[in-house]
A and B are shown apart, each in its own frame.
Chain A
Amino acid sequence: MHEMSLCENILGILLDEAASQNFSKVDRVCLEVGPLSGVEPEALRFGFDVVTRGSLAHGAQLDIFEPEATATCAACGTTAVIQDRFDPCPSCGSHLLKIKTGEELRIKELEVS
């Protein structure tokens, strides 16, 4: 359900860009979806197809780039790749982690005509 409303947000952005950047068809959408963004890429694909049906992005290719999640430890200063928000620091075990990357939820680029 959440992914559905995100797809409506994506379509809204595409419509705005179409008006301001003069295009009428979107052929490819490239997204960046971090593992800590709370979004399931597969659900996003499903939602995208449903929401864009009959729109300027009907049938557009959806590329989803999934960057790594990284965090810096406030206790020992290590920056490391993590899988989940509750992971401890891999070098000292502390939970005082500050998320650096992994929360991205962005449209990176569009291929339009």
Chain B
Amino acid sequence: MCTVCGCRSGETRIEDGAEHSHGHHAHHHRHYGTGDAGASVPGMSQSRLIQLEQDILSKNNSYANANRRYFAEHGIFALNLVSSPGSGKTSLLVETLKRLGKTHACYVIEGDQQTTNDADRIRETGVPALQINTGKGCHLDGHMIGHALERLATKDGAYVFIENVGNLVCPAAFDLGEAHKVAILSVTEGEDKPLKYPDMFAAADVMLLNKTDLLPYVDFDVEIATANARKINPDIKVLTVSAQSGDGLEDWVDWIGTARAELFAGCSATDAAE
């Protein structure tokens, strides 16, 4: 249960931001479809057919679209990092923030089933971070991100990095409102992962091949991994990086800057056209 707005959010717990006060709680996101569950009308008992044609994820998509609007209105560039557990999402974020955080306002939303370890690691870099614990839940959803954004009090023009729960399966289906999903695959996991978990690599716009410092010790062919990802997603951008040695991180940080510029260039172009 969300203690702020009373929305039912199962076992999810969002860390309390330090300056968060319920008194002037801004609740920028609307709640979608919270109809009164108890409403029933006596005397209407004949069976009837309702054609619905409604997407099962429509509620999540509404929350995600509200987040996307919020990002657009505030000039925020948001990325959703997805991978299996231990591929190096937090390590890469820490290294990214050491480079980007010096010159730009950055925020991190961390998703894990339990512990605040990852948010603690991010905060050590001086960047504000908020931990969401999903309990048994295996992915972040648009609603959780909406609440996290209220608590982060993000500056306009900031970068927001969302580290999803380590899971190569269902985070693919849940739009959070991000500009891009970034899939991280470490070289110790095998080059066949894009074929085994195609939905994730279809949903991502970028694949970071991480832990390249370990390439001399493992049987992993970057070309094959790239070809496999492109069988699923011909347009996917592939970058090789090592959070450990720093190799490739400049290209990654450059990509972030370019993707941000492209997103907002597109926005002002459509604004001007309207």
Chain A residues within CB distance 8 Å of chain B: 1-2, 5-6, 8-10, 12-13, 15-24, 27, 31, 36-38, 56, 74, 84-86, 88, 95-97, 99, 105-113
Task: State whether A13 touches B33 (Cβ < 8 A).
Answer: yes
User: For the complex, what is the distance from the CA of A110 to the CA of B50, rounded to whole Å?
Assistant: 5
Within B31-52, the residues touching A (CB, 8 Å) are 33-37, 39-41, 44-52
Given the complex, which residues of A lie within 8 Å of B53, measured CB to CB?
A: 106-109
Task: State whether B50 touches A18 (Cβ < 8 A).
Answer: no
Given the complex, which residues of B lie within 8 Å of A88, measured CB to CB?
A: 231
Chain A CB within 8 A of B136 CB: yes
Task: State whether A10 touches B139 (Cβ < 8 A).
Answer: no
Given the complex, which residues of A lie within 8 Å of B55, measured CB to CB?
A: 105-106
Residue of B nearest to A106 (CB): B55
Within B174-226, the residues touching A (CB, 8 Å) are 194-195, 198-199, 202
Q: A86-B194, A107-B53, A113-B45 are in contact. List 15 more A-B contacts (CB 8 A).
A: A1-B136, A1-B137, A5-B138, A6-B57, A9-B56, A9-B59, A13-B58, A18-B35, A19-B37, A24-B41, A38-B173, A95-B234, A106-B52, A113-B46, A113-B48
Chain A CB within 8 A of B270 CB: no
Report which of A17, A19, A27, A105 forms a contact with B52, defined as CB distance below 8 A: A17
Given the complex, which residues of B lie within 8 Å of A15, measured CB to CB?
A: 35, 37
Chain B residues within CB distance 8 Å of chain A: 10, 33-37, 39-41, 44-60, 136-139, 141, 169-170, 172-173, 194-195, 198-199, 202, 228, 230-232, 234
A17 to chain B, nearest CB (A): 7
Residue with the highest number of chain A CB atoms closer than 10 Å, among B35, B56, B173, B195: B56
Lowest 6 A-B CB distances belong to which pairs?
Answer: A24-B40, A19-B35, A2-B170, A85-B198, A16-B35, A16-B33
Given the complex, which residues of B lie within 8 Å of A96, measured CB to CB?
A: 234
Given the complex, which residues of A lie within 8 Å of B141, measured CB to CB?
A: 5
Given the complex, which residues of B lie within 8 Å of A84, measured CB to CB?
A: 198
Residue of A nearest to B34 (CB): A16
Task: State whether B198 touches A86 (Cβ < 8 A).
Answer: yes
Report 9 cross-chain contacts, Cβ distance below 8 Å, ordered by A residue.
Answer: A13-B56, A16-B34, A17-B35, A23-B44, A24-B40, A38-B170, A84-B198, A85-B232, A86-B231
User: For the complex, what is the distance from the CA of A113 to the CA of B228, rounded to whole Å?
Assistant: 50
Residue of A nearest to B202 (CB): A85
User: For the complex, what is the distance from the CA of A12 to the CA of B52, rounded to whole Å?
Assistant: 14
Q: State whether A20 and B234 are in contact (beta carbons under 8 Å apart), knowing that A1-B170, A2-B139, A85-B199 are contacts in the complex.
A: no
User: For the complex, what is the distance from the CA of A10 to the CA of B173, rounded to whole Å?
Assistant: 15
User: For the complex, what is the distance from the CA of A21 to the CA of B58, rounded to whole Å?
Assistant: 18
Q: State whether A2 and B48 are in contact (beta carbons under 8 Å apart), knowing that A9-B60, A19-B35, A105-B57 are contacts in the complex.
A: no
